[in-house]
Amino acid sequence: MWKAIILIGGPEKGTRFRPLSLDVPKPLFPVAGFPMVQHHIEACCQVPEIKEILLIGFFPLSDELKSFLEYAKKQFTPSIRYLQEYTSLGTAGGLYHFRDQIGAGNPSAFLVFNADVCCNFPLQEILSFHKSKTTDDGITIVATEATQQESMSYGCVVEDAATGEATHYVEKPETFVSSLINCGVYAFSPKVLQYMENVFKEHQSERFDSGDDNADQSFSERISLEKEILNPYAGSGKMFVYKTKEVWGQIKSAASAIHANKLYLSLYHKTNPERLAQNSHKQSPTIIGDVFIHPNAEVHSSAVIGPNVTIDDRVVVGPGVRVSNSILLPGAVLKNHSCVLNAIIGWQSIVGDWSRVEGTAHQPDPNAPFSKIISDGLFNEDGRLCPSITVLGYNVFIAPEIIILNSIVLPNKTIQSSSKNLIIL
Ligand code: GDD
Ligand code: GTP
């Protein structure tokens, strides 16, 4: 029996994802029509040995989270539970804190995922690899190639090409270490939890030695998976690298959500072809490339949609509308002849007649084969907003006949005039 654990973080995380993470916990943000973590859950459901999926994070149990969990419990076969950390315990602190629940039923291995990554998760292969390489205290780390410059924004792992062993691991190094990067997907043998106990005990004695009785309770329990587990594990003969050449990306900013949307839509050809819209008959809109349209959305037959578009629940798209490379979130309305390119349109937002909402697409460098999207901050060195995807937060109203270019509009705004490269507060 195997288990899967998804690290979903908490409300202080996802700052690059604002304003979208103001209205929904980031792991529930819909990408290609489904909450980000549902893609992980669906991949786990393809592996019959996975009997339980645990979401670990420090989000309060909000209505959105509750209703997602209820839906997931009904929809999927493995048992699905949310384990809430009392504060941010770091990427391994939650694993240690909930070790009894993770170990219950004696799983022979458990998979661990970062919630904010997107890929096609070749889980069966990863588990077979893990069984073939490691014993009861081993780690398999899934890694992919990145360019030299990009690699430094990730965990970097050095591999012994002959054995597949991870000989060195550095989290977000300042100088180049390796172009092989940590994908945020791992397989752990059960005894790794015991190793975490040693780290916990070291923290406790540090806390004791410091003589600071007021030190935060969570001090000992806060453990970084990358720095305190993977780093010392590398070179010990117990950590192995599973290399993947499949599509992979991280979801940190709005631009990377658009890119992830494209990746998941392209994966639907293989995993869920029925989710892709077709040019079926005269009464349906013109579809270009990969498009997901929610069954409850209304899209006018004269609209032209795609490529890489998700039209979510209860969205209304009027006559003559053009949408490409965008996500329209539940309840958004695009009025007649409006145009939305490279943008995310927030829940219940309205784009007026003949208005144009456009952003600048971020594409990984097509000439660099392993290039990824880099989600740097929103601003460049002179403090100006970098041209990127346009984002309308929740319940924004864009008046007719205006242009919003490369801008971020915070929730509940009414926009009456055109804007370019602005954050509208
Ligand atoms: N439960 C819990 N508790 N989860 C957490 C916490 C915490 O205190 N802190 C972060 N997470 C979750 C996040 O929600 C995310 O899914 C994952 O852990 C990693 O988040 P970050 O700590 O923000 O790291 P990162 O995304 O910058 O880098 C990590 O992922 C890269 C791949 O996307 C590292 O693992 C890198 O080495 C890796 O390359
Ligand atoms: P390439 O992508 O370089 O081929 O250019 P394009 O001619 O497709 O133009 P662009 O990328 O600017 O626009 C994408 C689509 O949106 C095109 O099919 C345009 O016809 C359509 N489009 C552009 N502006 C508007 C607009 O203001 N309103 C509407 N309804 N459609 C528009």
Q: Are residues 241 and 289 in the same domain?
A: no
Q: Are residues 288 and 245 in the same domain?
A: no
Shortest-distance Cα residue to atom 24 of ligand 2: 339
Mutation test of ligand 1: which of 6, 7, 12 has the most ligand atoms closer than 8 Å to its C-beta? 7
Q: Are residues 225 and 95 in the same domain?
A: yes
Ligand with an atom nearest the CA of residue 229:
1
Give the per-residue pLDDT at 20: 87
Question: How far is the C-alpha of 330 from the C-alpha of 346, rounded, in Å?
Answer: 8
Q: Which of 232, 250, 268 is the last residue of a domain?
A: 250
Q: Are residues 353 and 244 in the same domain?
A: no
Question: How far is the C-alpha of 423 from the C-alpha of 70, rounded, in Å?
Answer: 36
pTM for the model: 0.90
**Residue 90 falls within a domain, yes or no?**
yes
Give the per-residue pLDDT at 213: 64
Pocket of ligand 2 (CB under 6 A): 320-322, 324, 337, 339, 341, 356
Question: How far is the C-alpha of 243 from the C-alpha of 230, rounded, in Å?
Answer: 16
Q: Are residues 211 and 288 in the same domain?
A: no
Pocket of ligand 1 (CB under 6 A): 7-9, 13, 56-58, 85, 88-91, 94, 114-117, 154-155, 171, 181-184, 226, 250
DSSP one-letter string for 311-342: E-TT-EE-TT-EEESEEE-TT-EE-TT-EEES
- 170-187 CB burial, b ≥16 within 10 A, e <16: bbeeeeebbbbbbbbbbb
**Residue 273 falls within a domain, yes or no?**
no
Give the per-residue pLDDT at 369: 63
**Residue 262 falls within a domain, yes or no?**
no
Question: How far is the C-alpha of 178 from the C-alpha of 139, rounded, in Å?
Answer: 19
Please enumerate in sequence order all residues whose Cβ is within 8 A of that of 316, keeping only pairs 6 or more positions apart, or say none: 297, 298, 332, 333, 334
Q: Is the dihedral of CA 22, 322, 360, 8 positive or negative?
A: positive
Please report how many Cα atoms fall inside a 13 Å half-sphere around the Cα of residue 420, on the Cβ side.
1
Give the per-residue pLDDT at 81: 97
Question: How far is the C-alpha of 244 from the C-alpha of 330, rounded, in Å?
Answer: 34
* Centroid of ligand 2 to alpha carbon of 424 (angstroms): 25
* Centroid of ligand 1 to alpha carbon of 91 (angstroms): 6
* Centroid of ligand 2 to alpha carbon of 258 (angstroms): 18
Q: Are residues 173 and 321 in the same domain?
A: no
Q: Are residues 54 and 10 in the same domain?
A: yes
Mutation test of ligand 1: which of 91, 142, 185 has the most ligand atoms closer than 8 Å to its C-beta? 91
Mutation test of ligand 2: which of 305, 326, 339, 404 has the most ligand atoms closer than 8 Å to its C-beta? 339
The pair of structure tokens assigned to 72 is 């997931």
**Among 177, 185, 183, CA closest to 249:** 183
Question: How far is the C-alpha of 251 from the C-alpha of 268, rounded, in Å?
Answer: 18
Shortest-distance Cα residue to atom 12 of ligand 1: 9
Q: Are residues 342 and 399 in the same domain?
A: yes
**Residue 199 falls within a domain, yes or no?**
yes
Mutation test of ligand 1: which of 13, 226, 228, 247 has the most ligand atoms closer than 8 Å to its C-beta? 13
Give the per-residue pLDDT at 283: 79
CB of 244 closer than 8 Å to CB of 144: yes
Question: How far is the C-alpha of 137 from the C-alpha of 194, rounded, in Å?
Answer: 9
CB of 288 closer than 8 Å to CB of 303: no
* Centroid of ligand 1 to alpha carbon of 161 (angstroms): 27
Shortest-distance Cα residue to atom 19 of ligand 2: 322
Q: Are residues 119 and 221 in the same domain?
A: yes
The pair of structure tokens assigned to 340 is 């939305």
* Centroid of ligand 2 to alpha carbon of 308 (angstroms): 15
What confidence tens digit (pLDDT) does each residue in 34-54 have?
999 999 999 999 999 999 999
Answer yes or no: is the ipTM higher than 0.85: no
Number of compact structural domains in the chain: 2
Q: Are residues 204 and 337 in the same domain?
A: no
**The CATH number of the domain where 348 resides is what?**
2.160.10.10
- Of ligand 1's listed atoms, the one at least distance from the Cα of 116 is 16
Query: In sequence order, which ranges of 85-191 are alpha helices (DSSP H)?
Result: 90-97, 99-103, 123-133, 148-151
- Amino acid in position 205: S
Find the domain containing 367 and state its range: 282-424
Q: Are residues 120 and 172 in the same domain?
A: yes
Question: How far is the C-alpha of 404 from the C-alpha of 337, rounded, in Å?
Answer: 15
Low-confidence ranges of the chain (pLDDT < 50): none
The length of the chain is: 425
Cis peptide before 411 (omega within 30 of 0): no
**Residue 255 falls within a domain, yes or no?**
no
**The CATH number of the domain where 125 resides is what?**
3.90.550.10
Question: How far is the C-alpha of 203 from the C-alpha of 144, rounded, in Å?
Answer: 32
Residues facing residue 356 across a β-bridge: 339, 403
Q: Are residues 108 and 199 in the same domain?
A: yes
Question: How far is the C-alpha of 225 from the C-alpha of 94, rounded, in Å?
Answer: 10
